[in-house]
Amino acid sequence: MSTPKRKKVIVIGAGLGGLSAAISLAQEGYAVEVFEKNAKIGGKLNVLSGRGYTFDLGPSILTLPHIFERLFQMSGRRLADYIPIRPLRPHWRNFFEDGTVLDLVPEADLMEKELRKVGQDPGQFKKFLDYAGQLYDLVNKGYFERGLDNVRDFQRFYGLLDFLKFDLFRTMHGGVERFIDEPHVRDVLDYFIKYVGSSAYDAPAFMNCLPTIQFRYDLWYVDGGLYNIALGLRRLMDELGIPVHLNSEVAKIRTQGNRVIGITTSEGGQHEAEIIVSNMEVIPAHQKLLPPDVAAQRRLRRFEPACSGLILDLGLDISYPQLAHHNFFYSGEQRAHFDAVFKKGVLSDDPTIYLVAASKTDPTVAPPGCDCLKILPHIPCLNEKQPLTDADYMAFKDRVILKLERMGLTDLRKHIVFEHVWTPRDIQRQYYSNRGSIYGVVADKWKNFGFKAPKQDARYANLFFVGGSVNPGGGMPMVVLCGQNVCRKIVEWDRG
């Protein structure tokens, strides 16, 4: 008896979502090939090295490692043998303009001491975490694990009673405000929205599930830097026999009627496929790779991009002892910062700044006695109607450094021996992300109720999408989960 033919799947893009989909589909018996335009895999999970310093150019926080573990378990392997991870303490260190410093830690007794420093009732904080945990469990059982794609799917899966438990009438900030009265703690909890690059004042309240990801499941670091996640996945793919074509940009998805039939690369090579999975974001893929489709443009309009960021990597000749691995320097008026980025589309006068000092944990990423800093303030994505120039971005960079100096990193500019800057134009050019967005689609209660684009194309039934622009959205664990959900959707569709 002849062996049944393995169906051919082409994955466009070797970001984490594409890698997860490729591994999952290969484990289901499909013949998978991956095409990547850049010289290495990982997509936005990227690395930069220079003069003895190593920076996580993209994601720098690992959460929910059990989602990554599944990719290895399906092949009878263990995550720890491919990607060594360890928990971090504190999770974050938070700096405020008035001199307040507040650590986030998952241990209840230590967190209580931190809260009492700023006058926040620990009992109310526990009530908030209980509320966040209930939201997480609700979101996880359907939206995350079942890969629900729209309100109709939500209603069918959850039913009216559960649907009403999503705190539908509040924003994320409104949910925080309901429990927390201390302004520093409010700002910290609001800024969990950084994981999806949106505004706490516009995102739906169920985004308050995000703190549970840390307080219940911890926060992790990968020894040597997070790019080792990509290297661990590449090793697994090699063992599974999944070909990856680097420096091989896809220029066109070829179609026939209402089906996709293959791809054409920028060099002119043609490759056939029975199923295509695009790790290129949905809107850029329709703009660059597919025939013009007015109906698709209309459907996708509400899935606006999340914010971008100014990525500033600095190698220093000293170390700042007050820094933890992950740090946040808060705006004096965080709502004004959110409004500048998400409503006005301008560079914030006083941004909230995320700063990673991985050298606090990992001595291999910087010379002895030195810090390597990744600095990331959120800024608007590219907007042709309100264009920002390179001079605007550089002036903003100076404003960010001045703020950090004012908030304790004394003489920062004098100690920079290596500098690298990326603007939204660089991010768009490198990853073809929609308008230079970092996090895919914005989570906005008023525009899309937090939903991203669906994983299966409405016109081409054998075309699927994976990554931060489709449900459940941005962030490393979510795009890895998305790849697993896309695989399940393909298998169910393929079996009819």
| Per-10-residue mean pLDDT, the chain, length 496 | 72 98 98 98 97 96 98 97 97 98 98 98 98 98 94 88 90 98 98 97 97 98 96 98 98 98 97 98 97 92 95 98 98 97 97 98 97 98 94 98 98 98 97 96 93 96 97 96 98 93
pLDDT at position 5, please?
63
pLDDT at position 163, please?
84
Cis bond leading into 424, ω under 30°? no
Decide if 226 contacts 429 (C-beta within 8 A). no
Strands 463-465 and 250-256: unpaired
Dihedral sign for Cα atoms in the order 398, 403, 408, 410 = positive
pLDDT, tens digit (0-9, with 9 covering 90-100), for 195-238: 999 999 999 999 999 999 999 999 999 999 999 999 999 999 99
With both helix axes pointing from N to C terminus, report the angle between 227-240 and 65-73 in degrees, rounded to the nearest 10.
20
Closest C-alpha to 354, from 390, 322, 324: 324
Domain that holds residue 159: 107-217
Is 127 domain-assigned?
yes
Tokens of 160: 């009216």
At 282, the amino acid letter reads: V
Is 316 domain-assigned?
no
> 3-class secondary structure for the chain?
CCCCCCCEEEEECCEHHHHHHHHHHHHCCCEEEEECCCCCCECCCCEEEECCEEEECCCCCECCHHHHHHHHHCCCCCHHHCCCEEECCCCEEEECCCCCEEEECCCHHHHHHHHHHHCCCHHHHHHHHHHHHHHHHHHHHHHHCCCCCCHHHHHHHHHHHHHHHHCCCCEHHHHHHHHCCCHHHHHHHHHHHHHHCCCCCCCEHHHHHHHHHHHCCCCEEECCCCHHHHHHHHHHHHHHCCCEECCCCEEEEEEECCEEEEEEECCCCEEECCEEEECCCHHHHHHHCCCCCHHHHHHHCCCCECCEECEEEEEECCCCCCCCCEEEECCCCHHHHHHHHHHHCCCCCCCCEEEECHHHCCHHHCCCCCCEEEEEEEECCCCCCCCCCHHHHHHHHHHHHHHHHHCCCCCHHHHEEEEEEECHHHHHHHHCCHHHCCCCECCCCCCCCCCCECCECCCCCCEEECCCCECCCCCHHHHHHHHHHHHHHHHHHHCC
Distance CA 490, CA 484 (A): 10
Decide if 143 contacts 226 (C-beta within 8 A). no
CA angle 190, 194, 197 (to 5 degrees): 120
- How many domains does one find in the chain? 1
Which residues contact residue 28 at a Cβ distance below 8 angstroms, ignoring those fewer than 6 apart? 487, 491
Is 208 domain-assigned?
yes
Give the pTM. Answer: 0.96
With both helix axes pointing from N to C terminus, report the angle between 122-139 and 108-118 in degrees, rounded to the nearest 10.
120
Beta bridge partners of 244: 34
Token pair 């001595």 is at which residue?
A: 363
pLDDT at position 390, please?
96
Is 210 domain-assigned?
yes
Is 178 domain-assigned?
yes
pLDDT, tens digit (0-9, with 9 covering 90-100), for 281-321: 999 999 999 999 999 989 999 999 999 999 999 999 999 99
* Backbone φ and ψ of 135, nearest 5°: -65, -45
- Mean pLDDT of the chain, nearest integer: 96
Is 228 domain-assigned?
no
**Side-chain half-sphere exposure of 417, counting CA atoms within 13 A:** 15
Decide if 155 contacts 143 (C-beta within 8 A). no
pLDDT at position 403, please?
98
Distance CA 149, CA 169 (A): 20
Distance CA 125, CA 179 (A): 7
Is 114 domain-assigned?
yes
Distance CA 250, CA 385 (A): 29
Which residues contact residue 206 at a Cβ distance below 8 angstroms, ignoring those fewer than 6 apart? 135, 138, 139, 166, 167, 450
Is 322 domain-assigned?
no
